[in-house]
Amino acid sequence: MNFTKSLVTLGIASSLLFSCKDTASKPAANNETEVTATTEKTPAVAAKPETASFKIDGMTCAMGCAKTIEKELADMEGVQKATVDFDKKEATVEFDAAVLTPEKLYATVEAAADGATYKVVHKK
């Protein structure tokens, strides 16, 4: 009985500690089934506006993974709007093609976190 309690306690504690990156200091979601993160800037008008949509493998949570990727994309020069939908595992980025290429967006996503967690697939 004590062994079972210890094993369950250890399992719960380890899953809480290792289940998701960057969630220790962030507030919990309001139990929503779909979490869509959106970050929008109001920069100057893009010379060559373009939109890139792509799937991202490797995300394990909405508040840590999706938000981290979205912030990385939104902070790039030339990005007007970045949206990462955790449930669909998809990112949509509006950017200035005169400043950025889709390949730079993909590279930024794949370099986020430890550089080996996220993988861009189904590039459109």
pLDDT tens profile 48-73: 899 999 999 999 998 889 999 999 99
CATH architecture for the domain at 21-121: 2-Layer Sandwich (3.30)
pTM over 0.75: no
Helix (H) or strand (E) holding 7: helix 2-18
Residue-wise pLDDT tens digits, 6-19? 766 766 665 545 55
| DSSP codes of every residue in 62-89 | IIIIIHHHHHHHHTSTTEEEEEEETTTT
Q: 78, 100 in Cβ contact below 8 A?
A: yes
